[in-house]
Amino acid sequence: MSDAINFSHLDITSAQPPPSRAPQPKENSQCFHFVRRLITALLFLFVLISVVSWIAWLIVHPLGPVFTVSSFTVSNLTLSNNNDSRIKADYHLVFSMKNPNKKVPLVIDSFEILLLYKKDTVLTQAWITEAVSLEKMSQKNWSAEFPRDFGEPLHGREFNEIGKDWSKRVVSFDVKMKTEARFTCGIWLSKRRIMKVSCINLVVEFLEPRGINGKLRVAGGKVCSVHLA
């Protein structure tokens, strides 16, 4: 029959359904839940490490180092009043640093040493340029030389007061330091603290005839105060 339909020429591929796709919202939800779990796990790990570290430092309870001025000498002291009101001298300071901790070594960073008169008048300064490492229960001695011509001019009242003290052959100085101390416990526990050291009322006696050379009055050294922040 001429009217019969020839199905062999039809494109049967056009009748096939489109390929299926995975549901995108489900994949996005799984990814979101994974990221949220990961962040939660990291936060929990951070809190756990912080708590363990805090408890460990509470148990160890590290103490600050002990500073002691063992020797302080003043040589060739002169008061210059040629319109600049300066005190000039050669200062030599020897001090010891002791770590009193039985379980924790510590490292003291490089620091500046200020030599003062009446607690707030800076006469000169020196620097300890190397970090000091102190093992458990160890002690080290350190010395500092102060530059003779560094000091700023003094005010009239301060210059007159130090002149009166010198005429009595007794002058009181102060030494102050500020640095950082790093305590280490084991391989991964480390803690840094700001450290302020004050050595107050270092009384120097000028007993030799000319009165230009003096040394620390206290025998056996002067213990300084140490504040950790």
The residue with tokens 């901790």 is 101
Give φ, ψ of 210 to 5 degrees.
Answer: -75, -20
pLDDT digits (tens, 9 = 90+) for 43-93: 888 887 777 777 766 777 889 999 999 999 999 998 877 667 888 899 999
Q: What is the CA radius of gyration of the chain?
A: 37
**pTM of the predicted model, to two decimals?**
0.74
Instruction: Say whether 147 sits in a helix, a strand or coil.
Output: coil
Residue 11: predicted pLDDT: 53
pLDDT digits (tens, 9 = 90+) for 188-210: 778 899 999 999 999 999 998 88
Residue type, 37: R
Query: What stretches of the chain show up as alpha helix (H) in DSSP?
Result: 24-60, 156-167
CA distance 158 to 6: 122
Q: What angle do CA 92, 101, 141 make, to 5 degrees?
A: 15
Task: Share the mean pLDDT of the chain.
Answer: 84
The residue with tokens 């494109």 is 11
CB 52 within 8 A of CB 45: no
